[in-house]
Structure 1
Amino acid sequence: MEIKLGLKENWKQFTLLVLVNMLVGGMVGLERTVVPLVGTEEFKIGSDIVVFSFIIAFGVVKAFTNLVSGVLADKYTRKRVLILGWLVGLPVPFLLAWGNSWNWIIIANILLGISQGLAWSMTVNMKIDLVGPKKRGLAMGLNEAAGYGAVGFTALLTGYLASRYGLRPAPFYIGIFYTVAGLILSILVIRDTRDYARLESAQVAQQQITEEKFHKPDLLWVFRETSFKNKNLFAVSQAGLINNLNDGMSWGVFPLLFISAGVSLEGVGWIKAVYPFVWGIGQVITGPLADKIGRKPLIVWGMFVQAIGHVVIGLEFLSPFMSGLIGSILLGIGTAMVYPALLAAVSDTAHPSWRASSLGVYRFWRDIGYSVGALMAGIVASFFGLIWAVHIAGIITFLSGLLVLIRMKEKKPYE
């Protein structure tokens, strides 16, 4: 069968991958509202750092899995790695629902981190492979809209189920459906896309890359190039880390902060849901916008909008629920602006021959942000209170946007 690059030419497989990524995102949404409260109310954990330890474990494991996912994809095909991600994720909802100690919750999040690092990375790489260079922003917008829209929907649904039937096990039943459906779809209907990347690579001139680097870039070379040697990739990587620092902070802090402020469990569910939901759906707009106006404006202003969202959460003249809801909407808008633009910027800069590995390195730094955010929040909250974890995150986010403004230069994608 002849293969061609493009969204129109590959819309059926692209649509199936969007559906699969909705299921991948839903697995993260399982934890957004309920798990921190399981730690404080069911297991009676008094330390913020210990409560946030499940996020730290998830972030570290997912980050390192991202780092090797591109290498695994190039060696064993994208489809096999996607299936492996679902297999690793199968025990997760059972452990979350019935684990009888906090250690089982940590183990569930280690498995979830591996599963997400493999499965979500593959849906990203496979969509980029299919569409080619001209529609990357749109492709990433649709991919992340599906994933984070599902995160928001599931966070809201678990909050509702928890308020009606208790913190466990009812909210986690839907995770069993997600894992089984995702595994079946990945085995039966998803096709591998590595040949599409090879086709694009063959069409690209070897510009700005030496012959040796073009043919045999090892992971160490790609890690250095993506992490600090290439100014654009460095700017993108640090912005990705700070973006997910916000997510990691809010994941642990928001349920505890707003419950302590008198917000109901359903209200916390709405606050937790609106952030990833706006983040997800907004990317349907910001993804193609990144193709039209460039990556840098969306990244810079997206970081600034997130910083404003943190300020709103601290406003005392609003009720806790309203400040949380408005602040979360602004966080979602800002994240929607940066997320597809960051992924597309990496794809613009990295050559197709080492793009999967570069995306893995970028996603390593981005998802380390979960752990950094949770650790920062735990330490700051222990000394100054939960609200100061929000304030510190806002300051760091603003500085990150300034760094992108200064260091990053718009780059035309490979065509």
Structure 2
Amino acid sequence: MSIRLGLRENLGQFSLLVLVNAFVGAMVGLERSILPAIAEQEFHIAARTAILSFIVVFGVSKALTNYFAGHFSDRFGRKQVLVAGWLTAIPVPFVLMWAPDWNWVVGANVLLGMSQGLTWSTTVIMKIDLVGPKQRGLAMGLNEFAGYFAVASSALATGWFAARFGLRPEPFYLGVVYVVIGLLLSVFVVRETRHYVAHELRTHHPETGESRLTQGEIFRRTSLTDCNLSSVSQAGLVNNLNDGMAWGLFPLVFAAAGMTLVQIGLLAAIYPAVWGASQIFTGALSDKIGRKWLIVWGMWLQAGGIAVTALTADFMTFGLGAVLLGLGTAMVYPTLLAAIGDVAHPSWRASAVGVYRFWRDLGYAVGALLAGITADLFGLVPAMWLVAALTLLSGLISAVRMTETFTRGTG
């Protein structure tokens, strides 16, 4: 079989992976608009830190699984890791439907985090395998568009189901559908892509010392010692830190401002919908103008969106804050992944993606804990201002420390 790198050359398999990742994102969207309401109304949990505990365990389990997903996909193959992720997700919707206490919900989010780490990491790695060096930004934009537009659609759907039928169990029936379709597609239609890396190594990358790094060396480079890789990792962590805050606190902020369940579901959907849809354009844009300044200005725009939300109690202005936060995140999310692909050698790229995603998704846990503790001590609005300040600082770090990673004419 002839192997050719490129999006157009592998459009069928690439499109299938985009579809699979849409179902991966939809699983997270199940919880996006209604789980804080379930915590307050069904389990009578008042402390913000306790309510956000489901995001903490989700973030930690996803972060750790991300790290191992990159390594395992190199060792055992991408498809096997993808299928394992869907198998891990099977119990999640059933536990969310029938959980007798909050600890069961927290346990379901451990499984959801593990599943997301395996499935989403693998779809990212497989798309990078297929497209080669020339269109990474566009490829990551399409991948993240599918995932986060599905997050938004699922959040909107569960909000509507909750308003019409109640908080449980009906909204989580959707999760059963997502798992069944995602698993069947991954088992029977998705093909292994690891051999595309071998082809890229032969055609684009001669054997050097760069291709023989240990897992420890890859972790240190991606986390600390390489200015570009470590800048990407810290920006990813802060990006998901503010997303963890938005996931856990925004529904509570909206409810405190008198929004209905339908309005909360709509507001919870606007941010990931704008984020998801815009990534098609921002990912491709990074292939034309470069990665660095999209990352920097994206972080600063996110900080502005959080500030707008902190300053208002009005539905339309909440919507404006969500749009700004979504646009800023869209500028950053696919661009960070593309930058990893630019810098990391193909022989250890999957592992570097795993390390980056470890730090990025650890941001969920850090953000939920930080926002929850601050909200309990000082209130919801000060918690949002703290996260906005950290996001602004992250953009400044990237502006000072990063160099441009994209080289025009690559490949």
- Please confirm whether the aligned pair reaches a TM-score higher than 0.5, indicating the same fold: yes
Cα distance in structure 1, aligned partners of 2:310 and 2:109: 30
- State the Cα distance separating 1:36 from its structure 2 match: 1.0
* C-alpha contact (below 8 Å) 2:292/2:405 kept by paired residues: no
Cα distance in structure 2, aligned partners of 1:137 and 1:385: 39
Partner of 2:345: 351
Partner of 1:54: 54
Q: Deviations over 1:282-341 (max 9, x none)?
A: 00110100000000111011011111101111224xx43222211111000000000111
| Alignment of structure 1 residues 39-50 onto 2, 5 Å | 39-50=39-50
Cα distance in structure 2, aligned partners of 1:412 and 1:32: 34
Q: Which segment is superposed worse, 284-293 or 405-414?
A: 405-414
Cα distance in structure 2, aligned partners of 1:356 and 1:137: 16
Partner of 2:285: 289
Quick check: 1:120 aligned with 2:120? yes
* C-alpha contact (below 8 Å) 2:72/2:81 kept by paired residues: yes
| Alignment of structure 1 residues 226-265 onto 2, 5 Å | 226-265=222-261
What amino acid sits opposite 1:344 in the alignment?
A
Quick check: 1:269 aligned with 2:272? no
SS of equivalent residue, structure 1 residue 38: helix
Q: Deviations over 1:46-65 (max 9, x none)?
A: 11111100000000000000
What amino acid sits opposite 2:384 in the alignment?
V
Cα distance in structure 1, aligned partners of 2:326 and 2:205: 38
| Alignment of structure 1 residues 10-29 onto 2, 5 Å | 10-29=10-29
Cα distance in structure 2, aligned partners of 1:240 and 1:149: 19
* C-alpha contact (below 8 Å) 1:275/1:331 kept by paired residues: yes
What amino acid sits opposite 1:170 in the alignment?
E
What amino acid sits opposite 1:373 in the alignment?
G
| Alignment of structure 1 residues 314-393 onto 2, 5 Å | 314-316=310-312, 319-393=313-387
Partner of 2:203: 203
Partner of 2:211: 214
Cα distance in structure 2, aligned partners of 1:277 and 1:369: 21
* C-alpha contact (below 8 Å) 2:291/2:406 kept by paired residues: no
Gap runs ≥5 in structure 1 = none
* C-alpha contact (below 8 Å) 2:287/2:406 kept by paired residues: no
Partner of 1:179: 179
Cα distance in structure 2, aligned partners of 1:346 and 1:214: 15
What amino acid sits opposite 2:391 in the alignment?
T
- State the Cα distance separating 1:198 from its structure 2 match: 1.3
- State the Cα distance separating 1:206 from its structure 2 match: 4.6
What amino acid sits opposite 2:148 in the alignment?
Y
* C-alpha contact (below 8 Å) 1:314/1:323 kept by paired residues: no
Matched residue count: 409
What amino acid sits opposite 1:13 in the alignment?
Q
Partner of 1:4: 4
Gap runs ≥5 in structure 2 = none
What amino acid sits opposite 1:312 in the alignment?
V
Q: Deviations over 1:3-44 (max 9, x none)?
A: 110111100000000000000000000010111111111000
Partner of 1:130: 130
| Alignment of structure 1 residues 396-415 onto 2, 5 Å | 396-412=390-406, 415=411
Cα distance in structure 1, aligned partners of 2:177 and 2:298: 34
Cα distance in structure 2, aligned partners of 1:358 and 1:182: 26
| Alignment of structure 1 residues 159-178 onto 2, 5 Å | 159-178=159-178
Identity of aligned residues (%): 56
What amino acid sits opposite 2:191 in the alignment?
R
- State the Cα distance separating 1:380 from its structure 2 match: 0.5
What amino acid sits opposite 1:68 in the alignment?
F
Q: Which segment is superposed worse, 347-356 or 321-330?
A: 321-330
Cα distance in structure 1, aligned partners of 2:321 and 2:378: 20
Give the RMSD, CA atoms, in angstroms. 1.1
Q: 1:306 aligns with which of 289, 293, 302?
A: 302
Q: Deviations over 1:364-393 (max 9, x none)?
A: 000000001100111110111111111111
* C-alpha contact (below 8 Å) 1:232/1:409 kept by paired residues: yes
